[in-house]
Structure 1
């Protein structure tokens, strides 16, 4: 079983658990994508879920080995720029499922490595871009310390190059030295 399929089984089973605990009236109010996922989860067998748990344990052990002796790993937060909340995947990309655009984050949700997302700028169109700081199991404090330092560095960079809006955000950065990051869509 591929890890993406195993992690999908965990997500579907979790969605099904919540879905099964609410009334039909409340189910009708749910996002259609979530409802579809929950209904798929209801059809999973115990064998499929157990196979996914075994795969999760193996992947977690492999991540432990990979992160042994590493301070942190820094990766993109997601592979795509933000898109409308009513959509399950970014438009015009060929991506159909959430697992195709969240591949930098959802595996860590399953394996127990601490991770923190930090805003690191905005696209040329003003959409937020983030990075993810990942640590070994138990290194939560280190991950948060690195995240705090990165936020501080990014803030000092913007503050030193132009005025920030009163609310302290950088979404309106227009200064001549403000670094804009262009992220191509796939």
Structure 2
């Protein structure tokens, strides 16, 4: 069975045939998670490569002081996972948690390699996905080292307009690298300007 919404999403990058995408559904595993359910536990398991059909996932790193640092949010039709863990078969450096009821398709390393070998169009597709991801992460690094907290927040709400409705303020603050109290100050300041 092929999900047309996923087929159309894949086709935004590569002109897949239905047969090529059918192989994806044969190799990937379909899983549903409830809000606050953990998909990947840090240091406990190898991360799969995760396609989010619908919902919201949060990837975070827990430091030695047990403080959680939000690395990224993943929304509908995005790929996520701990790429190092996935590629090297090592336990994940991150925890990945459902922030809403979420439906995903996951690929383990063997499924990924088999898909790319059996359907060469996926090799090109994943190259484009990885390139886009690298560009996105480089832009975030620049924002983190050169933007003010207010500029980071404004960029966040521009890039993720519906996330504030799904995610607690403390997670957004962590993603931005500021305290929840400072984020509240920024939001009040911006509300007063309006």
Q: TM range, normalised to the smaller chain?
A: under 0.3
Task: Identify, as 1 or 2, the structure richer in strand.
Answer: 2
Relative to the length of structure 1, the TM-score reads: 0.27
TM-score by length of 2: 0.26
**Higher relative contact order structure (alpha carbons within 8 Å, sequence separation ≥ 6):** 2
